[in-house]
Amino acid sequence: MIQSENTNIRIRHLMLSRVAIVTVLLGIATFVEIKGEEFLPEISLFSFYIVVIAAYILSIVYYLILNLSPNLKITLYAQALCDVLLITALVYATGGIQSIYAVFYTIVIIYSVIFLGRRGGLIIASVSGIVYGGLLDLEYYKIMIPSYATIQNVSFSAGYVFLRIIIYIFSFYLVAILASFVVEQERKTRTLLEEKVTAFDQLDQLHRSIIESIDTGIVTINLLGQIISFNRAATEITGYSLMDVEGLNIVDIFPEYVQLHDKLNRTYDPDSQKNRVEMTLINKSDKSIILGCSISVLKDSSGKRIGNILVFQDLTEIKKMERHLEMNRRLAFVGEMAAGLAHEMRNPLASIGGSIQMLHKGLHLSLSDERLMQIIMRGKDQLESFMKDFLLLSRPTPGMHETFQVDEIIDDVLDAVRYVPDWRDQIEIAKSPTNRLEIFASKTEIRQLIWNLVMNAIQAMPDGGRVRVAARHATLKESIPGLEFEITDNGPGIAETDLGKIFEPFFTTKEKGTGLGLAIVNRIVDGYQGTILVDSVPGRGTTFIVRLPRNIQ
């Protein structure tokens, strides 16, 4: 029945079709009249034109009623009944029994079935049969005589009239039944199709939801190497949206794709869990990231290959964690070695130092011997400093945690560094106001952290420069309150190739460095579950930013 959301549109199409048919008939009659052909007598043409004008007027009325009537079903019944009467008038105007326009009844019956269902079609078929049969009976009994028939003075037998009525009524019902069957089948087919479309849409939505929800980047590529899909995770990892990459060649975004594809083809093992390789990608922000990738064949429902699927994950943080774990493993090894080494070296070194000082007091040395004695004492002091750093690296510094102001530690460090051998008068130190910030931690470790970073900055500027020290409030992950220390210098900076190694024990680019200072800083920061960031531009300087929780447990 009338349930389709497109019913109003289809009714408007019906109205346009009615107007089109009437216009065609009007055009044919006018053309014949102009040509002078004997189409119908003048009085017949006059009636014909009246019927056509009535059809136009009714079409306008139908349109107005469609927009105003709240009951669409009644409106359609009214249209169908008026059309039946209009066709009856047309049949009467064009010859009655002889008229060829009785076939138009079937059009009304068909659209009645479409919009009103089988019952509506049978009702209109019955009305058409009654009206048409009544018209022919009235003509047969000379009650309504179409004197303008195409063939004048022709008498029709009762059998002929009765047979014509029966045939048309039978055809009306037959059309209604066949049309209802076709419409019902079409409706079932449409319903089934809608169900299939709905199921497909749900499946497609589920598929898209799964693809968009996972945290693994998925890119599909056609046989020409063009990107045809790019999921949410792929956008988050690379920074490129689907609009940025759709239709581009895969190598424009993933330059190593071809080598990756060839490598996987050579080493692919269906029974292996290691069909995965790594590649480096420069994302949209011009940052280098490491991806773990695998490639699969994309097939259609028939199993034919239609492209490839690139699946990848961002391994950059994992690689950093691996390097961090490796560093911790080395530190653990160094700690084990330091424990034994310190025990074996500190006592003999103290004995040597004490013995040299006693000998120095009882001897009268020449200037050259005095210089040699000073060299020995400096060597002893260097060994002691090295052993001290070695022990700081290998194990936490003993000390109670307490609440203190970071100004005290910073001022103490900045005063003390002016007396170290690496100090230069050309070095300028600036301290930003700290607003009396407090932290709960070990004074010894915080002092060691700031000392090593400031000393690292001073040693990086043998010809002088500027060091700036700042401390301020910071908010860590999960809204944990913290402090941020920032130590900046305008020295030569750190080469990009060395940035990943500066926290490794014994790695140094300085001639006299031990490579333990930044390793100790990293160990202290890790112990407090903080973070340390390095921003260095070769030729312009380096900035170290350390973030620690204010209440360190």
Classify residue 489: in a domain, yes or no. yes
Classify residue 208: in a domain, yes or no. no
Rounded CA separation 212/420 (Å) = 59
Question: How deeply is 482 buried, as exposed, middle or buried, from its count of CB atoms within 10 A (0-12, 13-18, 19+)?
Answer: buried
Q: Are residues 167 and 282 in the same domain?
A: no
User: What's the CA angle centered on 8, arms 5 and 14, to 5 degrees?
Assistant: 130
Q: Are residues 521 and 532 in the same domain?
A: yes
User: DSSP alpha helices (H): ranges in 214-241?
Assistant: 232-238
Question: Residue 392 half-sphere exposure, CB side, CA atoms within 13 Å?
Answer: 24
Q: What is the pLDDT of residue 508?
A: 76
Q: What is the pLDDT of residue 174?
A: 92
In the listed set 361, 395, 429, which residue is the last one of a domain according to the structure? 395
Can you say how many angstroms the Cα of residue 285 is from the centroid of all Cα atoms in its chain? Answer: 17
Classify residue 205: in a domain, yes or no. no
Rounded CA separation 406/471 (Å) = 8
Q: Does the model's pTM come out above 0.95?
A: no
Within 8 A by CB and 6+ apart from 480, the residues are 549
Q: What is the pLDDT of residue 275?
A: 57
Strands 227-230 and 277-282: unpaired
Closest CA to 515 of 501, 530, 505: 505
Classify residue 32: in a domain, yes or no. yes
Q: Are residues 352 and 410 in the same domain?
A: no
Q: What is the pLDDT of residue 2?
A: 42
Closest CA to 214 of 244, 245, 239, 235: 235
Q: What is the pLDDT of residue 331?
A: 64
Closest CA to 129 of 164, 153, 101: 164
Closest CA to 308 of 299, 300, 320, 317: 299
Closest CA to 215 of 246, 197, 236, 230: 236
Sign of the alpha-carbon dihedral angle for 450, 455, 461, 466: positive
276: domain CATH number is 3.30.450.20
Q: Which helix (H) or strand (E) segment is 429 a member of?
A: strand 427-431
Q: Are residues 21 and 103 in the same domain?
A: yes
In the listed set 278, 297, 314, which residue is the last one of a domain according to the structure? 314
Q: What is the pLDDT of residue 271?
A: 46
Task: For 47-158, list the strands marked E by DSSP.
Answer: none
Rounded CA separation 424/429 (Å) = 11
Residues 548/475, Cβ–Cβ less than 8 Å: no
Q: What is the pLDDT of residue 142?
A: 80
Classify residue 202: in a domain, yes or no. no
Residues 106/174, Cβ–Cβ less than 8 Å: no
Question: How deeply is 73 buried, as exposed, middle or buried, from its count of CB atoms within 10 A (0-12, 13-18, 19+)?
Answer: middle
361: domain CATH number is 1.10.287
Q: Are residues 185 and 225 in the same domain?
A: no
> From the CB of residue 115, how many other CB atoms can be counted at a distance below 10 Å?
24
Within 8 A by CB and 6+ apart from 526, the residues are 328
Q: Are residues 153 and 237 in the same domain?
A: no
Q: Are residues 241 and 103 in the same domain?
A: no
430: domain CATH number is 3.30.565.10
Rounded CA separation 329/494 (Å) = 25
The residue assigned the tokens 């160990």 is 523
Instruction: Give the tokens for residue 386.
Output: 């090295």
Instruction: Give the tokens for residue 396.
Output: 């936490």
Buried b (16+ CB within 10 A) or exposed e, 512-551: eebbbbbbbbbbbbbebebbbeeebeeeebbbbbbbbbbe
In the listed set 395, 422, 453, which residue is the last one of a domain according to the structure? 395
Classify residue 324: in a domain, yes or no. yes
Q: Considering its fold, how many domains does the chain have in total? A: 4
Classify residue 1: in a domain, yes or no. no
Q: What is the pLDDT of residue 42?
A: 47
The parts of the chain modelled with pLDDT lower than 70 are: 1-10, 12-14, 22, 25-26, 28-48, 66-70, 146-155, 204, 207, 264-275, 331-332, 334-347, 349-350, 353, 360-363, 365, 381-382, 384-399, 434, 511-515, 552-553
Instruction: Give the tokens for residue 534.
Output: 């390095």
Q: Are residues 452 and 502 in the same domain?
A: yes
Q: Are residues 83 and 178 in the same domain?
A: yes
Q: What is the pLDDT of residue 543?
A: 92
Domain carrying residue 350: 317-395
Q: Are residues 354 and 293 in the same domain?
A: no
Region label for 535, one of left (φ > 0), alpha (ψ between -120 and 50) or beta (otherwise): beta
- For residue 479, the one-letter residue type is S
Closest CA to 544 of 529, 530, 533: 533
SS3 6: coil
Rounded CA separation 203/226 (Å) = 25
Classify residue 62: in a domain, yes or no. yes
Q: Are residues 310 and 323 in the same domain?
A: no
CA–CA distances in Å: residue 447 to residues 366, 386, 413, 443, 450: 41, 18, 7, 6, 5
Q: Are residues 330 and 291 in the same domain?
A: no
